[in-house]
Each structure stands twice: as structure tokens, then as C-alpha cells.
Amino acid sequence: MCRSTVYMSTKDGVLELVRNAVRLKLEEDLLIIIDDVGERLELRNVRIQEVNLISNNIVLEKKE
């Protein structure tokens, strides 16, 4: 199974949000991240800055 680590890019650096994310779902302005044990993180007003399929990293940023 492919798992990714999800990060949030901020002015102070990059923060790790979720390890072993297996699903990202966008519903309007809500991004739902689900990890491999079913835990959810819900974020509003974010966009994807980068998806790196080789290193299995996803970087998000707040919408301005």
C-alpha cells in the first residue's frame, strides 16, 4: 500500500501533519486526510503545493 506524509508549509517552515496518509478527499473548501488506521484530519482553505510520488510527500499551504 502506498502511504504518504502530509506537511503544511508555513512562513516558519514545514510542519508534519499526518504520517501514513492513504487518502485525501476534497469537499468544497474542506480537505479530508485519512491515514492507514482510519484517523481523519480535516482542514479548511488549503491547497496542494506539491505532490512528490517518489518520496511519498504531500505539501499543503493555506489559501490566501
Cα(22)–Cα(63) distance, integer angstroms: 23
- The residue assigned the cell 505532490 is 51
pLDDT above 70 covers what percent of the chain?
Answer: 98
Which amino acid makes up residue 15? L
Mean pLDDT, residues 24-48 taken together: 96
CA pair distance 46, 58, nearest whole angstrom: 12
Q: Is the pLDDT confidence value at 4 over 90? A: yes
The mean pLDDT value for 36-50 works out to: 96
In the predicted model, is pLDDT for residue 1 greater than 90?
no
Residue 2's pLDDT band (boundaries 50, 70, 90)?
confident
Residue 47 confidence class, pLDDT cut points 50, 70, 90: very high
